[in-house]
Amino acid sequence: MEKLPKPYYHDEDAGITIYHGDCRDILPHLPKVDLVLTDPPYGINKAEWDTSFPSWAIPLCVEKADCTWGRHYKWVIAGYNMNGMTYGAIGFGNWIPAVCAGKVKSKGRDAHSFVVGREPQEDHPDQKPLQFMRFLVNRLSESDDTILDPFMGSGTTLVAAKQLHRKAIGIEIEQRYCAIAVSRLQQGVLPI
């Protein structure tokens, strides 16, 4: 087993760390976290890296979710894109998934709807809406929790975690997306 690489980015004050590399190489070296919240490739050919769903990642993610009280909770949760009803004569629903695992708290509602296009889009073909990821981070974690995103992309989960004062670890295999995530994280935190 290889040694954990040096972090690509680390903000000790915010408790945010990014690793550049394949999550299969990095995950074994990380401690357990309170919540795994990620958006893996879904095998829909939206980009060159989206040719198949990484089913191997689910057990790795669940293993990193600290469920010491004995219940691993894992599921795919979807947010409803309200402006997704714009295609064709009658339109279609646009549900955006995210994979979750951890000791999930029971608070608030289970569904969230949002409108895409109100926030800047980074140079990523499938960036999750920050509003949706903020909802999930807030709904599924507490202020002292650590969140792990092993398919970080442009860093939306980490930005949401930072804005909501959670610690977070992100892993991304493409260096250009690591750079985008760092830029987003360095823009500061909006008041909530």
Angle subtended by helix axes 156-163 and 130-140, to nearest 10: 60
d(CA 157, CA 39) in angstroms, rounded, equals: 9
Residue 147 pLDDT grade (very low, low, confident, very high; cuts 50, 70, 90)? very high
- CATH code of residue 129: 3.40.50.150
Across the chain, mean pLDDT equals: 77
For residue 57, which of 76, 85, 80, 83 has the smallest C-alpha distance? 76
Is 85 part of any domain? Answer: yes
Strand order in the sheet with 94-102: 9-11, 16-20, 167-172, 146-149, 35-38, 94-102, 73-81, 113-114
Residue 135 pLDDT grade (very low, low, confident, very high; cuts 50, 70, 90)? confident
Is 153 part of any domain? Answer: yes
Residue 124 pLDDT grade (very low, low, confident, very high; cuts 50, 70, 90)? low
Residue whose entry in the numeric block shows the structure tokens 């202020």: 143
Global pTM reads: 0.78
Please state the domain count of the chain: 1
For residue 154, which of 25, 39, 36, 29 has the smallest C-alpha distance? 39
Note down the domain range covering 132: 9-185
d(CA 136, CA 160) in angstroms, rounded, equals: 9
Is 1 part of any domain? Answer: no
pLDDT (0 to 100) of residue 192: 47
pLDDT (0 to 100) of residue 19: 98
Q: Highest mean pLDDT: which of 63-72, 119-128, 168-177?
A: 168-177
d(CA 166, CA 133) in angstroms, rounded, equals: 13
Calculate the dihedral angle through the C-alpha atoms of 79, 131, 124, 167, rounding to the nearest 10 degrees. -110
Is 173 part of any domain? Answer: yes
Is 2 part of any domain? Answer: no
Is 192 part of any domain? Answer: no
